[in-house]
Amino acid sequence: MSVAPGKCDDRQLDSLSHLLGLGVAGLIVSTGDLASELLLPFSERVPIIRAGRPEPDALIPAVSFDAEHAGKALAEAVVKAGHTKIAVVRTCPEVSFPEYTRAQATIAEIRKQGLEPFIVDVKFDSGEAYVVPLIKSGAITAVMCPTDLRQLHYLRVCQDEGISVPSHVSVTGCDGALPGFDIMGLTTYSWPVRKLATGAVASILELIDAYGEVEKPTPWVQRKYQGQLVPGRTLSPPNES
């Protein structure tokens, strides 16, 4: 099951109930904003695996992207470029747990480098009303976003505000899933989507095969897939002259 961002829990749960009513043997759930606790009743009826959303409490079997590696790689690139005044856009976990996890990993790595980032907590906006004045005042020289869509939003905002990227501010994103992101020159981290999809299908088949079999131990799946940093034209050394 995959749903559009922002859908309410009730509608997502209704979709799950409908699928169970069709007699499916297992479910791959790829929505990032549905709490794991809400999936537990369904996992008692059929095997379930989450795809793309980290499961820190290991309540549900999951294959996900390695947010810690992404945050570390992106933060290292920004700091290595010379930035010390960095804003990190952090989506609240209720809206998108994957985005929240990526932002947390980025913040942790920046702090590990001995710096303290400006943390911009957001829900459905991107926090530009707070961030743009910081850019114009020189208080920050880099904005790190948890998705490439949010990065594109900041590029548009900067263009409208007469702020040059990357001359006045650098901007990074994460996921590398937008068509043409390489042509656009986005600085991002590319997820191995095909590898995760293959792993999710293999894992649910494994769970289905062992489900209800006394002699077969049910495997507990918690796998993470690393991607790679994609350098782009939106990141350069800070211009603080």
Rounded to whole angstroms, the maximal C-alpha distance in the chain is 70
Q: Which CATH number covers residue 183?
A: 3.40.50.2300
Both 168 and 91 in one domain: the answer is: yes
Is pLDDT of 5 > 50? no
Read off the pLDDT of each residue in 176-202 and give the average, rounded to a whole number: 93
In whole angstroms, what is the distance from residue 26 CA to residue 20 CA?
9
Does residue 205 belong to any structural domain of this protein?
Answer: yes
Does residue 107 belong to any structural domain of this protein?
Answer: yes
Read off the pLDDT of each residue in 34-39 and give the average, rounded to a whole number: 82
* H and E: helices and strands count for the chain: 8, 10
Both 25 and 58 in one domain: the answer is: yes
59 close to 36: Cβ distance less than 8 angstroms: yes
Q: What is the chain's mean pLDDT, rounded?
A: 89
Both 109 and 175 in one domain: the answer is: yes
In which band, very low, low, confident or very high, does the pLDDT at 4 lie, cut at 50, 70 and 90?
A: very low
Both 76 and 171 in one domain: the answer is: yes
Which residues are CB-neighbours of 24 under 8 A, at least 6 positions away? Answer: 46
Read off the pLDDT of each residue in 226-241 and give the average, rounded to a whole number: 92
67 close to 102: Cβ distance less than 8 angstroms: yes
Residue 11 is predicted with a pLDDT of: 78
Structural domain boundaries, residue 204: 10-66+192-227
Does residue 238 belong to any structural domain of this protein?
Answer: no
In whole angstroms, what is the distance from residue 52 CA to residue 33 CA?
11
CA distances from 1 to 22, 28, 32, 41, 185 (A): 13, 6, 11, 16, 32
Both 90 and 157 in one domain: the answer is: yes
Read off the pLDDT of each residue in 59-69 and give the average, rounded to a whole number: 90
Smallest Cα–Cα separation from 234: which of 159, 126, 138, 131? 159
Helix (H) or strand (E) holding 90: strand 86-91
pLDDT tens per residue, range 87-106: 999 999 988 888 999 999 99
Does residue 240 belong to any structural domain of this protein?
Answer: no
pTM of the predicted model over 0.95: no
Both 145 and 50 in one domain: the answer is: no
Both 41 and 108 in one domain: the answer is: no
Both 37 and 101 in one domain: the answer is: no
DSSP label at residue 126: -
Read off the pLDDT of each residue in 205-214 and give the average, rounded to a whole number: 80
For the chain, give the percent of residues with pLDDT over 70: 92
Smallest Cα–Cα separation from 42: which of 84, 76, 14? 14
30 vs 87 pLDDT, higher one: 87
Smallest Cα–Cα separation from 205: which of 46, 13, 67? 46
Does residue 236 belong to any structural domain of this protein?
Answer: no
Both 59 and 71 in one domain: the answer is: no
Both 88 and 16 in one domain: the answer is: no
Both 122 and 147 in one domain: the answer is: yes
Does residue 170 belong to any structural domain of this protein?
Answer: yes
Both 119 and 83 in one domain: the answer is: yes
Residue 213 is predicted with a pLDDT of: 65
In whole angstroms, what is the distance from residue 148 CA to residue 58 CA?
27
Number of structural domains the chain divides into: 2
Does residue 3 belong to any structural domain of this protein?
Answer: no
Grouping H, G, I as helix, E, B as strand and the rest as coil, residue 179 is coil
Does residue 241 belong to any structural domain of this protein?
Answer: no
46 close to 211: Cβ distance less than 8 angstroms: yes
The total number of residues written for the chain in this structure: 241
For the chain, give the percent of residues with pLDDT over 90: 61
Is pLDDT of 2 > 60? no
